[in-house]
Structure 1
Amino acid sequence: MSKIMTQPTAAQPSLTSASEMTKMALVAALYVTVTALLAVISFGAIQIRLSEMFNYLALFHKRYVVAVTAGVVIVNFMSPTWVLDVPVGGTATLLVLLLCRLVTRRIKNVAVKLGVTAVIFSLSMFTVAFQLTILFDLPFFYTWLTVGAGELLSMSIGGIVIYYLSQKVNLAR
């Protein structure tokens, strides 16, 4: 039987198992909570969304691609640009998380994997700059620079947290 057709094992539970759904819901809820509690710095042309640290979890297990994307979609309803931020931000998050998993899949060094992911996410902030340019007539490249710098700062702080957490906890389980 092909690998695709096999049933999930105890070591690899289905993404729809109660345990997996609970882990995904917890991460989505944490993303929403951290962003909402820090809303004053989580939205806008200059933003430091510390909840972005949860993006790194997708490197350890595919369940977190769904979890973080769900968290982003939910919390983006709080955004002043929600009309674009919900569909564009949610889609961009999903695609960038998948891209980061693909690009870093063969990198064994966790710190390098986190660094590459931080750079990719920071560059992907053109989507936020695009939204702010359309809705608020802000200059695109300057806005991309400020949002990208905020993302790099957020991801750097979060990367340190996730790196040390990954040394103590098996995030792939």
Structure 2
Amino acid sequence: MPESAKDNMISEWERKQLLAALHARLFWVGEEVPYSVEIKGEKCKPHDLVWDLINKDTLSDDDVRHIDTYISYIREKEKEDELKLATSKLTRKDAKALFNETAGLLRAIMDLREIEDGTAKEKEQEFRDTFSRERVDEARRWLQFLKDSGTLE
């Protein structure tokens, strides 16, 4: 293997860092649910699935039953990706892409569980309430700044 190609391969230390990051407490912060991933030879769109379910006013009994199936398939793919990350010879670029996909799949699983147990809607409403309060506070601070600077009377 040419030296430059060897230097581009992920080291064992880097591999362990990526695997540890997948199991860290807040690994999912900033991770996106993948838009497309191949599961059992089929192109799946976990992002669209989560988006569609989270935007439903109410979940049907079929939706709830299917969520468990979706989680099972996504979990299987996540385990497959994690094993590949742990054992395969990978370039740094490929390892990072695989890490991102795996973290995104874990995020999808978490999101689906929250949708299923109803906490996703509660968190969304809490976010909206907090965002609205912060916008009002920001506007008040801005107006106070303008008054203090003499720009606004």
Which band: TM-score by shorter chain? under 0.3
Name the one with the larger helix percent.
1
Give the number of the structure whose alpha-carbon radius of gyration is greater.
2
TM-score normalised to the size of structure 1? 0.24
Q: Relative contact order, CA 8 A, sep 6+: which one is greater?
A: 2
TM-score normalised to the size of structure 2? 0.26
